Amino acid sequence: MIRMLDIRRSYCLGLTEVNALQGVSLEIGPHEFVAIMGPSGSGKSTLMNIIGFLDRPTAGAYFFEEQEVGRAGDDRLAELRNSRIGFVFQSFNLLLRYTALKNVELPMIYAGVAPRQRREAAAAALTEVGLADRMGHKPNEMSGGEQQRVAIARALVNRPAILLADEPTGNLDTQSGKEIIDLFIKLNNGGTTLIVITHNREVAEQSKRILHMRDGQLIREERQP
Amino acid sequence: MKAWEGFKISIEALRLNRVRSALTMLGIIIGVMAVILLVAIGQGAKDYITKELRGLGTNLLIVTPGKTATKGGFHPPMSGTVRKLIYDDALAIKRRCSKVNDTAPVVMGTGKVKYFNLSRDAMILGVTPEFETVRNLHVEIGSFVKPEDVDLKNRVVVLGRKVKTELFGEANPLGKMVTISDARYRVIGIMEKKGMSLGFDIDDLVFIPVKSAQELFNIDSLIEIIVSVNRAEDLDKATEQIREVLIKRHNKKEDFTIISQEAMLSTMNTILNVMTSVLGGIAAISLIVGGIGIMNIMLVSVRERTREIGIRKAVGARNRDILAQFLMESIALSVAGGMIGIILGIGGALAFKYATEYIPAQVTVWSIVLAFGFSAGVGIFFGVYPARKASLLDPIQALRFE
């Protein structure tokens, strides 16, 4: 599903050149649950952004579903983000002035889904994450755990191939974090490919495969039983 | 994304910042209103002058002393004369020009009209009986100046409505004696109420026989000769005939000017058109200023909503979706502002019509179309830069923006 060959990413920060990724090669198959761990600045998020088409590699080849996408244009990347990827962020990234339902509808607006089907699909996704009774609430009327569930519903609603989560439990208390991870496991069991960045060993141990990063490189891989 | 979705998103965003949206629109509202109102006033002035000039009487030519280069326009009273026009010129024109129906020689001056201890400064016109028909002004009570009054230099006077009321109130003035600059005149008639015409208050005029007026002002010339022509198509021929007759009488020199109503009308229209375009142009500048206001707010809005742009891009918005969203916001602002401006402009023109008696402001369709098109254009022009800026934001940096 994902095949990366010697991916590099460098950018300029003021006058200094930062090499965020220094030759990453990896392969992730369908239905996998992969955790990426590593200290801050190790390049985890940069890798995640490239996998999720928010960013492009400066060098290397990226094959997504057998197609080279490392040099694709903005519109093609936007389409891939819309239809193939679901993002879950540490800080939820919900639109505060919209209700939960409208937040979940957002990706479908850009997919060109008709309003009526949009509402039905958004309601179904919210029900799936256990928020059937909170659809009309705005993000600031909900707890952190609930907001993250809305974000997950939004990530799922276009039926993506991969769910990408960047520190999804980082802003949550232990109990809420555990519920979110349980939800992820449930989704993965249902067939969704899952890639999670985390600092938390306990979270990572729920996955089948842990990738360790340091200084822009993959240094070690653990396979879970 | 469908256009309708982008429109809905834009309207939602504008409604969220109601006060800001309203203030931003204000620039466009004022600009559009000013364009429509000023053009309406200009048009009203034009209509008014056309009506008034036509109201002077039909198929008129005016002969004034002195050769002026312009083809028409107003002739200042007491203009410096090269060779004066005299009473006999008027008689000659009437006698010798076949296309001329009638002539009305006019003398004009000011004087104090007194009746016992009441007095009023009035414009005094020396006229002949023909003046009444040529100029289409009529007496209401009594009679107008009669032929024998002119020939015998009779000291008789016909009073305008306002002069009569000032001096006599409700009393009947016929046969009473009034004093004009030390000479006593007998009142023989009262003019019907007519109001303002081309800046003159007809009701504030006093008419006396032309020769009496020349005696009163101690002159032997006329300020103009009004000539009426039978038919509109004879105007050119009549002008030619008058020119021949007067040149012969004036030592073969063309030291007079013949103006037709149409020439006056076209000169006035030219002046008013220029005035209207200048005023409209100034108003249009305020539209541009309003457009810059929109751009300013849109730039602030893009910055404020950087994170929102990042979120939208992360879930699959293409650059052109973001461009459309912000462009539609600025267009919605300017078009809504334009529509409100049109309504206020029309309302203002109506208010102006009722507030001023003389200039009925006339809203023109072209000014509405122009103002609206211009405001929509301003919205697009000044909206493109902020919207483009928003659409080209890098999603990762936008998401990190606090």
Do residue A81 and residue B321 have CB atoms under 8 angstroms apart? no
Distances (CA, A) of A220 to A32, A36, A210, B78, B334: 18, 10, 8, 109, 58
Q: Which residue has the higher pLDDT, B54 or B391?
A: B391
pLDDT of residue B82: 55
For residue B23 the two structure tokens come to 């203030």
The mean per-residue pLDDT over the stretch B219-224 comes to: 90
Cα–Cα distance, A183 to A172 (Å, whole number): 14
Cα–Cα distance, A204 to A186 (Å, whole number): 15
pLDDT digits (tens, 9 = 90+) for B332-346: 999 999 999 999 999
**Nearest to A213, CA basis, from A4, A20, A44:** A44
**Amino acid identity, position B106:** V
pLDDT digits (tens, 9 = 90+) for A130-178: 999 999 999 999 999 999 999 999 999 999 999 999 999 988 999 999 9
- Whole-complex ipTM: 0.94
Cα–Cα distance, B227 to A27 (Å, whole number): 104
Cα–Cα distance, B371 to B376 (Å, whole number): 9
Cβ–Cβ contact A117 with B under 8 A? no
Cβ–Cβ contact B110 with A under 8 A? no
Cα–Cα distance, B182 to B112 (Å, whole number): 9
pLDDT of residue A83: 93
Lowest-confidence range among B219-223, B241-245, B319-323, B351-355? B351-355
pLDDT digits (tens, 9 = 90+) for B368-382: 898 888 888 888 999
Residue A53 sits in a domain whose CATH number is 3.40.50.300
Do residue B319 and residue A74 have CB atoms under 8 angstroms apart? yes
Q: Are A99 and A137 in contact (CB under 8 A)?
A: yes
pLDDT at B199 over 80: no
Q: Are B64 and B259 in contact (CB under 8 A)?
A: yes
pLDDT of residue B395: 92
Do residue A110 and residue B316 have CB atoms under 8 angstroms apart? yes
Cα–Cα distance, B77 to B88 (Å, whole number): 20
pLDDT digits (tens, 9 = 90+) for A179-211: 999 999 999 998 899 999 998 898 899 999 999
Instruction: Compute the nearest-CA separation of A86 from chain B (Å).
Output: 7
Q: What radius of gyration, in Å, describes the C-alpha atoms of chain B?
A: 32
Residue A97 has its nearest CB partner, among B16, B312, B315, at: B16
Do residue B315 and residue A112 have CB atoms under 8 angstroms apart? no
Do residue A106 and residue B399 have CB atoms under 8 angstroms apart? no
Q: Are B213 and B109 in contact (CB under 8 A)?
A: yes
Contacts of B313 in chain A (CB under 8 A): 54, 78, 81
CA atoms B40, B41, B46, B47: torsion sign: positive
pLDDT digits (tens, 9 = 90+) for A11-63: 888 888 889 999 999 999 999 999 999 998 899 999 999 999 999 999 999 99
The CB density around residue B180, as the number of other CB atoms within 10 Å, is 22
The mean per-residue pLDDT over the stretch B15-30 comes to: 91
pLDDT band at B74 (very low <50, low <70, confident <90, very high): low
Cβ–Cβ contact A26 with B under 8 A? no
Distances (CA, A) of B280 to A13, A58, A67, A194, B270: 52, 56, 60, 64, 15
| Residue A17 burial by Cβ neighbours in a 10 Å radius (0-12, 13-18, 19+) | exposed
Q: Which residue of B has its CA nearest to A156?
A: B315
Number of H helices, E strands in chain B: 13, 12
Cα–Cα distance, A119 to A140 (Å, whole number): 21
pLDDT of residue A122: 95
Cα–Cα distance, B67 to B83 (Å, whole number): 10
The CB density around residue A12, as the number of other CB atoms within 10 Å, is 8
Tell me, letter by letter, the H, E, C secondary structure of B184-248. Answer: EEEEEEEECCCCEECCEEHHHEEEEEHHHHHHHHCCCCECEEEEEECCHHHHHHHHHHHHHHHHH
Do residue A93 and residue B312 have CB atoms under 8 angstroms apart? no
pLDDT of residue B68: 62
Contacts of B320 in chain A (CB under 8 A): 75
User: Which of A88, A103, A110 to mutate: most B Cβ within 10 Å?
Assistant: A110
Q: Which residue has the higher pLDDT, B203 or B75?
A: B203
pLDDT of residue B80: 45
Cβ–Cβ contact B73 with A under 8 A? no
Contacts of A110 in chain B (CB under 8 A): 1, 312, 315-318, 321
pLDDT at B60 over 90: no
Distances (CA, A) of B279 to B37, B167, B368: 10, 43, 15
The mean per-residue pLDDT over the stretch B223-245 comes to: 89
Q: Which residue of B has its CA nearest to A155?
A: B315
pLDDT of residue B252: 80
User: Which of A44, A45, A81, A116 to mutate: most B Cβ within 10 Å?
Assistant: A81
Instruction: Compute the nearest-CA separation of B23 from chain A (Å).
Output: 22
Do residue B312 and residue A111 have CB atoms under 8 angstroms apart? no
Range of the domain at A123: 2-223
User: Which of B8, B308, B315 to mutate: most A Cβ within 10 Å?
Assistant: B315
pLDDT digits (tens, 9 = 90+) for B261-275: 778 888 888 888 898
pLDDT at B76 over 60: no
pLDDT digits (tens, 9 = 90+) for A89-113: 999 999 999 999 999 999 999 999 9
For residue B281 the two structure tokens come to 């142009």
CA atoms B112, B115, B120, B126: torsion sign: negative
Cα–Cα distance, B72 to A1 (Å, whole number): 88
pLDDT band at B234 (very low <50, low <70, confident <90, very high): confident
Instruction: Compute the nearest-CA separation of A17 from chain B (Å).
Output: 17
- Chain centroid to CA B132: how far? 27
Do residue B5 and residue A55 have CB atoms under 8 angstroms apart? no
Cβ–Cβ contact B400 with A under 8 A? no
Do residue B314 and residue A49 have CB atoms under 8 angstroms apart? no
Cβ–Cβ contact B396 with A under 8 A? yes
Cβ–Cβ contact A97 with B under 8 A? yes
| Residue B248 burial by Cβ neighbours in a 10 Å radius (0-12, 13-18, 19+) | exposed
Q: Are A21 and A213 in contact (CB under 8 A)?
A: no
pLDDT of residue A197: 94
pLDDT band at B81 (very low <50, low <70, confident <90, very high): very low
The percentage of chain B sitting over the pLDDT mark of 90, rounded to a whole number, equals 38
Task: State the total domains in chain A.
Answer: 1
Angle between helices B261-304 and B306-314 (to 10 degrees): 70
CB pairs under 8 A between A and B: 62
Q: Which residue of A has its CA nearest to B322?
A: A110
Cβ–Cβ contact A83 with B under 8 A? yes
pLDDT of residue B79: 46
pLDDT at B106 over 90: yes
Cα–Cα distance, B32 to B284 (Å, whole number): 8
Q: Which residue of A has its CA nearest to B8?
A: A109
